[in-house]
């Protein structure tokens, strides 16, 4: 019997992962812990809240006493660690909070795992989910792979880079069984409005200005959240102990082109005259240390585990827009 702890399970990606594991593994107990800060929302989990194998605890991962008690009381066998402060803008304003949650919180979980697991067995895994932002910024060419050097430019990416290093250190030093994945930008239903795509859609719904940093030419690689969950599930079940896997969406687009595409689809859905909402775009001062481009080489997970993204971006973004419209 597996007793899987999923951290940050009321958040965007976390809630999708929780639902996936609760529904796909009825014989596993799924323990979701979340501190329910502004981005955590239990409404994301209403479909599984009454399932017999699902349990929720409001816990701060920095509270090591509570974490140790939970590990012990529930005989936690595996961890899927998603809890994190993740908004770059907020990290610029409050870097200490990001270090506290993303670094010290990860250490709290690592210590509990090291203390209570039998590290001579092959019965456990600590799966740490991270970001491609730890690699820094690309120019117009090239892709991040698992051997790319770490070169974080924001307090957020620095905190995630540090947590990645601690997870690897616990594997190398103590023999803790670990997996790490680094993903590109996610999108889909249930994402908080602070992130770029929901922010654009929310601005369209309210008919308020759509802020675009700088000249809008920064490029991101977009990954649909269900495709990310496919990869997470596959890595958890078949990933090799100690390995890192990069997960990309295979769809690069500049921020301004993304905004224009969302506007085009939104106006089509709302039966607006084409271009009606383009006037809402407002170029604003660029974010300090704004990375120019992210793009992922996911050939390792494709070759070793057989994963590729399934969702066509135009289909995924249309479904996402329709979901936010339905929730207005």
Q: How far is the C-alpha of 322 from the C-alpha of 36, rounded, in Å?
A: 26
CB 272 within 8 A of CB 278: no
Residue 89 annotated as catalytic: no
Q: How far is the C-alpha of 155 from the C-alpha of 162, rounded, in Å?
A: 10
Q: Of 34, 60, 132, 291, which is the active-site residue? A: 132
Q: Of 133, 164, 221, 230, which is the active-site residue? A: 133
CB 177 within 8 A of CB 124: yes
Residue 133 annotated as catalytic: yes
Name the DSSP letter for residue 118: -
Helix (H, G, I), strand (E, B) or coil at 241: coil
Helix (H, G, I), strand (E, B) or coil at 2: coil
Q: How far is the C-alpha of 260 from the C-alpha of 262, rounded, in Å?
A: 6
Which of 130, 149, 7, 17 lies closest to 70 in space, CA to CA?
7
**C-beta neighbour count of 286 within 10 angstroms:** 13
Q: How far is C-alpha 203 from the chain's CA centre?
A: 23
Structure tokens at 187: 């999108």
Structure tokens at 113: 């795992």
Gyration radius from the chain CA atoms: 20
Alpha helices, DSSP H, located in 133-282: 155-174, 196-206, 225-238, 255-269
CB 18 within 8 A of CB 94: no
Structure tokens at 40: 């955590």
Q: How far is the C-alpha of 180 from the C-alpha of 259, rounded, in Å?
A: 31
- Residue 81 β-bridge partners: 7, 128
Residue 250 annotated as catalytic: no
Q: Of 31, 135, 156, 324, which is the active-site residue? A: 156
- Which residues are catalytically annotated? 132-133, 156
């Amino acid at each position: 019997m597996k007793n899987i702890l999923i951290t940050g399970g009321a958040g965007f990606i976390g809630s999708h992962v929780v639902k996936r594991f609760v529904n796909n593994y009825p014989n596993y107990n799924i323990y979701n812990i979340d501190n329910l800060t502004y981005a955590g929302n239990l409404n994301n989990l209403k479909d599984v809240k009454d399932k017999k194998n699902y349990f929720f605890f409001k816990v701060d991962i920095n509270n090591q006493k509570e974490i140790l008690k939970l590990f012990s009381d529930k005989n936690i066998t595996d961890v899927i660690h998603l809890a994190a402060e993740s908004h770059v803008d907020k990290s610029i304003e409050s870097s200490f909070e990001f270090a506290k949650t993303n670094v010290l919180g990860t250490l709290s979980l690592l210590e509990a795992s090291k203390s209570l697991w039998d590290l001579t067995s092959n019965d456990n895994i600590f799966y740490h989910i991270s970001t491609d932002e730890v690699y820094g910024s690309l120019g117009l060419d090239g892709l991040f792979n698992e051997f790319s050097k770490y070169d974080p430019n924001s307090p957020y990416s620095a905190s995630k880079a540090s947590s990645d290093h601690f997870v690897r250190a616990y594997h190398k030093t103590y023999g803790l069984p670990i997996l790490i994945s680094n993903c590109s930008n996610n999108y889909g239903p249930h994402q908080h409005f602070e992130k770029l795509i929901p922010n654009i859609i929310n601005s369209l719904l309210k008919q308020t200005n759509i802020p675009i940093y700088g000249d809008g030419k920064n490029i991101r690689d977009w990954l649909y959240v269900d495709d990310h969950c496919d990869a997470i599930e596959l890595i958890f079940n078949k990933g090799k102990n100690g390995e890192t896997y990069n997960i990309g969406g295979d769809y690069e687009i500049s921020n301004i082109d993304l905004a224009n595409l969302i506007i085009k689809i939104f106006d089509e859905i709302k039966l607006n005259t084409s271009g009606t909402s383009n006037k809402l775009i407002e170029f604003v001062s660029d974010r300090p240390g704004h990375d120019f481009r992210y793009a992922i080489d996911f050939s390792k997970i494709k070759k070793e585990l057989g994963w590729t993204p399934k969702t066509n971006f135009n289909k995924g973004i249309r479904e996402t827009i329709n979901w936010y419209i339905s929730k207005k």
